[in-house]
Amino acid sequence: MAEAPVTTVERFLQWASVEAGLQPLSVAAYGRDLRAFLRWQSAPTPFRSVGGAQIRAFLASEHARGLDPRTVARRLTALRLVYRLIGSEEPCLDPTRTVPRPSLRAPLPKLLTRVEIARLLALPTPATPLGLRERLIVEWLYGTGCRVSELADQPLSDIDRELRVARCLGKGGKERLLLLNPPTMTALDDWLRSGRPRLAGTESGDSLLLSKSGRPLERTRLFGMIRQRALRAAIVRPVSPHMLRHSFATHLLEGGADLRVVQELLGHASLATTQVYTHVETSRLRAAHQRFHPRA
């Protein structure tokens, strides 16, 4: 008897988390994708009985209802991974093989100008534990280019203050070193000397960032902190932590950094992912050309 589709999804999520080692956010997203596929069916069909035409119809319906193309593409990835799991256990025809992956144009990353970054970093910050924490967060995100989840998970024991580096665990459990520049080190030293000890408690563990209650700071809190700081710095458009990462990469390339160096600093597995920042630089140059050249 064929396994119930819901059971297959639950088993897949456990496999993706434990055996495949995917990040929790990716596992959760794939779970939503697969459940959306089951809801779309008039009657849930065992995965072994699904055909390529059915998957194509599902993706087309998701696109028709206005779903973001990147989400539609991820839906297909989730289904492909399910069939990879099923096929690893016993022979099974993979219907996703006949479904072409949607071609996506990577959107240009949103970033802050150098002037906006300067305002964000120069904003006066009170010498309180929460003020010192906020200053470290901004300096760390822009100074290292790390992801917001990586900063939230950063252990104290993985920071070498003498060498001015931090070991970071990125996507897929891939390790890399973050380089801590002088302003980041100053903010770190202030936080560790006068901020963190005043918040630390029995539940603090080895976390670099702590909440007011002394627990490890949740990544979702960092979004609100960055938004509020940007508003205080008179930056009216919405600002997210990831925009600091984009700004870090773009400003490095503007300064003449090699693309492969930026790739390594960002922790990108593929150079193609990093190349989106060259498009940002090209767009900036084109805008300047059209504005100032007499024949543009």
- Give catalytic residue positions: 147, 171, 242, 245, 268, 277
Contacts of 158 (CB under 8 A, 6+ apart): 166, 167, 168
Contacts of 287 (CB under 8 A, 6+ apart): none
- The DSSP code for 270 is S
- The DSSP code for 15 is I
For the record, the structure tokens of 176 come out as 């890399």
Rounded to whole angstroms, what are the CA distances from 67 to 56, 59, 61?
15, 10, 9
CA angle 268, 273, 275 (to 5 degrees): 115
Helices and strands: H and E segment counts in the chain: 14, 3
Asked if residues 166 and 185 have their Cβ atoms less than 8 Å apart, the reply is: no
